[in-house]
Amino acid sequence: MTTRPIQAEKNLQKISQASEHGIGQSPLRPDGTLKVKGEFAYSSDLWHEDMLWGTALRSPHPRADILSVDVSGALAVPGVHAVLTHEDIPGAKFYGLEIADQPALAIDKVRYQGEPIALVAADHPETARRAAKRIVVEYEVLTPITTEEQCLDPQHHGYVHEPHEYKARAHGNLCHEQRLVAGRGVTDGVRALADVIVSGEYEVGMQDQAFLGPESGLAVPAEDGGVDLYIATQWLHVDRQQMAPVLALPEEKVRLTLAGVGGAFGGREDLSMQIHACLLALRTGRPVKIVYSRDESFFGHVHRHPARMRYEHGATRDGKLVFADCRIVLDGGAYASTSPAVAGNAASLGHGPYVIPNVAMHALALYSNNPPCGAMRGFGAVQAAFGYESQMDKLAAALGMDPVELRQLNAVAQGDLMPTGQQIDAPAPVAELLRRAKDRPLPPPLDPSDLRNLPGALSNTSHGEGIVRGVGYSVGIKNVGFSEGFDDYSTARVRLEVIGGEPVAMVHTAAAEVGQGGVTVHAQIARTELGVEHVAIHPANTEIGSAGSTSASRQTYMTGGAVKLAAEAVREVLLDRGRRRHGWTHRDLTLAGGRVVSASAGVLTSLAELLGDEAVEQTRVHRHRPTVALHPETGQGFGHVQYSFCANRAVVDVDVELGLVKVVELTAVQDVGRALNPLAVVGQIQGGCTQALGLAVMEEIVIADGKVRNASFTDYLIPTVLDTPPIPVELLELPDPHAPYGLRGVGEAPTVSATPSIVAAIRQATGKALTRIPVRPEHLTL
């Protein structure tokens, strides 16, 4: 077992055939300096000399029938070039990631506050907004369906979608459900085997991805009748797949190019303004730009599913888990988005990284008239982790055990079976992660003489009175890549040619760079495999095959794997050329430092000489090993390609009189398989922990009767640099034999595991049960 503390980066071992900027190193991001200096071009900076500006009229009601729409007032505004409703859509009316249940523009009803009804294109953004306000919509306002009880009782409260719409739904407002049964399930006989039983009900509020760059893009009509869209997104090809039928165009006439993305975290996996901009551009024959305002952004993308969970765990007196009985209810909001997959994840991961011989799980995703929910970092595992980790602390207290020891006693390891029946066939050092988190030195005691150290900071609310310190632990599990039989693949093209006398590699993929650092890692892989220093990254677009979504912690695994395959293919073509030209018979040929090298014979030639004027280009597709859909009733099956694990220790100070919390330190220990870029890996882990902190103590979209009450960064609070504590990170590198370079997806696991550790620390400090997140001051003082 090897570890790499973050402080040891200067001592990283260099890979022999790679440059100092190859895999295992930490070269700077090519876009980093531009972003820090404010010079990076984001999608909201796009410009075309004759472009129009687009906007949407959105429903103020979460549920209503549309009786009429009068656009004449908008058309009369000078400078308006087009006003569109659903009647102007040339093709399919509906789209969706998994279920085509969402109208591009509302037809006869609205199902959530903010649903788009009409579009306006004008020569100035303010003109477009003023014109949209002059559209008159007559509604019959209906009582929204917003609670679990209302959703599951459609006979009394109605349907969000009628049962005959889109696909058969025998259970009314149920979008998807997944059951899982392991061992004997949870029966009276199984319960009798447990000496101690604890139960709890837990709730997770609706979290927003809170990316800083709002939705934006530019659609340009093309001479061939198609359209070119420059867009900030997470998945170019699936965007196109949903857009083309609505636009009544073949996919080859809908061309997408990635524009600068100001963060994503799952919120850009669904369509937002893509179809709208293209409809307006095709109608007017002019380029159309749409940029959401911040409040519109809150209505324009999906959020993290709020959840209500019930858990019951039983254990023997010595702490061995006997059973887990779990129910997870996810509010998917008005449209399906990725709710089926999120519910599948919650079911298959909702027991945690523990060996539990008997499991009964029921996960449901519901339709409601609340805002649509879908992908967000952690994807169903975040909500479940708060439930099962709260249970582990409750069980440890009931047994009189150390909470870390209880977790270690029941931790999964390589060779164990998950409740789905899938064997863990790669390292799973859960107990070791916990040990390392616990063994790290604790931060120094509170120094109340410096007000900056106190909850409330410089607000002078306390000088140390009523402040209590707490320490909490947690560990989480997250799948990597797309699961349950999805054909998960990525395509990469690598070209090697001589430019200015030097060999230069060009890497072309459709992978969306959303801030995660893929452009850096893909260049590192090309340098390593081709032994060159100069690598260019081609803009991501739909001219090449799909790279899948930048989500599920999958891009380094999948697109990195494709770049590796393509670069290896280029290398083999070059070496074959050398063998034919020069009669090389060496079996130990490789590329390094811009040369062809043999360990036995030394340098044979330069790459520039071997290439000459003949560039070498290869395209490859990388697929991970196949998975299968989980059985709908038993949840059995090889559902996930890879698991990722992270353990956290949180140290908090709580002002128990005012209910203020300061996270003093948030340690993370994670197995990353192999760190291709250690600095970027640490950044991903620290970022994931920070988002988890937000969910623990401050972030929530407040919904009342289906309406959003805090659609701004004034009222929706996210952690700032002043809220973010030191986050020491320790990396384990235990290679996964099934993955390129042995790597393991990194970005989501700390978001899964860190929230429960913070809440556990607050519990220890206050003695409060704390069954709901985010924890609010009133939870600590009442």
The tens digit of pLDDT for each residue in 374-416 reads: 999 999 999 999 999 999 999 999 999 999 999 999 999 999 9
Q: Are 296 and 58 in contact (CB under 8 A)?
A: yes
* Token output for 139: 């509604």
For residue 206, give the nearest of 703, 614, 618 by alpha carbon. Answer: 703
pLDDT of residue 9: 27
Q: CA-CA distances (angstroms) from residue 174 to 331, 364, 367, 401?
A: 10, 7, 6, 40
State yes or no: cis peptide before 357, omega within 30 of 0.
Answer: no
Q: CA-CA distances (angstroms) from residue 460 to 446, 455, 467, 474, 779?
A: 16, 10, 13, 32, 22
Look at the block and give the residue holding tokens 């399930």.
185
* Distance, CA of 298 to CA of 106 (rounded, Å): 18
pLDDT of residue 168: 41
Q: Are 195 and 317 in contact (CB under 8 A)?
A: yes
For residue 518, give the nearest of 554, 568, 481, 571 by alpha carbon. Answer: 554
Longest pairwise C-alpha distance within the chain: 83
> β-strand 616-623 against 595-598: which pairing, if any?
unpaired
* Distance, CA of 344 to CA of 384 (rounded, Å): 12
| Residue 174, φ and ψ in degrees, nearest 5 | -85, 115
Q: What is the DSSP string of 473-508?
A: EEEEEEEES--TT---EEEEEEEEEEETTEEEEEEE
What b/e string do you get for 546-571 counting C-beta neighbours within 10 Å, with b at 16 or more? bbbbbbbbbbbbbbbbbbbbbbbbbb
Torsion of CA 536, 538, 544, 548, to 10 degrees: 90
pLDDT of residue 6: 31
Task: Please list, in sequence order, all residues whose beta carbon lies within 8 angstroms of the beta carbon of residue 10, skipping any fewer than 6 positions away.
Answer: none
C-alpha triplet 212, 474, 778: angle, nearest 5°: 65
611 Ramachandran zone, left/alpha/beta (phi>0; psi -120 to 50):
alpha
Q: Helices (DSSP H) in 501-583: which residue ranges?
A: 518-530, 555-582
For residue 756, give the nearest of 394, 347, 268, 282 by alpha carbon. Answer: 394
pLDDT of residue 19: 57
* Distance, CA of 270 to CA of 516 (rounded, Å): 18
Q: Are 53 and 289 in contact (CB under 8 A)?
A: yes
C-alpha triplet 756, 448, 663: angle, nearest 5°: 15
At residue 559, the 3 state secondary structure works out as helix
* Token output for 687: 């970022």
Which amino acid does the sequence have at 352?
G
For residue 563, give the nearest of 514, 617, 616, 619 by alpha carbon. Answer: 619
Spans in the chain with pLDDT lower than 70: 1-19, 164-171
pLDDT of residue 12: 22
* Token output for 309: 């969970």
pLDDT of residue 165: 61
Half-sphere exposure of 706 (CA within 13 A, CB side): 28
pLDDT of residue 7: 28
Q: Residue 301 has what DSSP assignment?
A: S
* Distance, CA of 597 to CA of 586 (rounded, Å): 10
Q: Are 479 and 630 in contact (CB under 8 A)?
A: no
pLDDT of residue 14: 27
Length of the chain: 782
* Distance, CA of 113 to CA of 479 (rounded, Å): 33
Look at the block and give the residue holding tokens 């030209």.
581
